[in-house]
């Protein structure tokens, strides 16, 4: 096969796996086609932003690694306190906010980039995403058995990355 013709490239797994120089791709999503064109031509601005994103995600991974015990305690304490308590969400939003502020030096690299992150929005997203993940993990743990520390931390990392 000397060429690839893909009418709906979607995630591009086949496109990237075959790495054909003679490829024609298409998709209904103009944004997706623009993404693949940026990759194809090596768009400097796009690749720079992608490298910044990778750098910031690496910083968030380090936040998880460096604060493993504290984050696991946050999760376990929440799971132990689950009751019909309207103040629980407020209490843990406050705890998450305190965590971010007390570790601001570690988050500092993420907040000083070209993505124009506003600290209040970022903290709000972390609160929302992390609390949602913690609730979901507690529910899964209750129904299917305890999660490993590694699973808990991976989920917390995902919530930080999605807040970014």
Kindly tell me if the per-residue pLDDT of 18 is higher than 80.
no
| pTM for the full predicted model | 0.76
Among 11, 47, 41, which Cα is nearest to 27's? Answer: 11
3-class secondary structure, 24? strand
Identify the residue whose tokens are 């000083």: 112
The mean predicted confidence, pLDDT, of the chain is 83
Residue 69's contacts (CB-CB under 8 Å, 6 or more residues apart) are none
Q: What is the distance between the alpha carbons of residues 124 and 127, in angstroms, rounded to a whole number?
A: 5
Residue 93's contacts (CB-CB under 8 Å, 6 or more residues apart) are 127, 131
> Which tens digit of pLDDT belongs to each residue from 82-140?
655 567 788 888 899 899 888 888 887 776 655 556 778 888 888 899 999 999 999 99
> Which tens digit of pLDDT belongs to each residue from 41-57?
888 988 988 888 888 89
Q: What is the distance between the alpha carbons of residues 16 and 27, in angstroms, rounded to a whole number?
A: 15
CB atoms within 10 A of CB 91: 14
């Amino acid at each position: 096969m000397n060429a690839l013709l893909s009418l709906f490239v979607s995630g591009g797994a086949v496109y990237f796996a075959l790495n054909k120089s003679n490829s024609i791709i298409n998709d209904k999503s103009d944004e997706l086609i623009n993404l693949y064109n940026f990759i194809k031509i090596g768009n400097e601005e796009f690749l720079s932003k992608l490298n910044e994103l990778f750098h910031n995600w690496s910083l968030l991974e380090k936040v998880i690694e460096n604060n493993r015990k504290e984050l696991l305690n946050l999760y376990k304490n929440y799971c132990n306190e689950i009751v019909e308590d309207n103040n629980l969400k407020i209490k843990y939003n406050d705890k998450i906010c305190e965590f971010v502020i007390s570790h601001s030096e570690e988050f500092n690299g993420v907040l000083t980039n070209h993505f124009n992150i506003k600290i209040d929005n970022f903290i709000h997203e972390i609160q929302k995403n992390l609390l949602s993940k913690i609730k979901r993990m507690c529910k899964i743990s209750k129904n299917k058995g305890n999660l490993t520390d590694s699973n808990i931390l991976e989920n917390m990392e995902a919530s930080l990355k999605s807040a970014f």
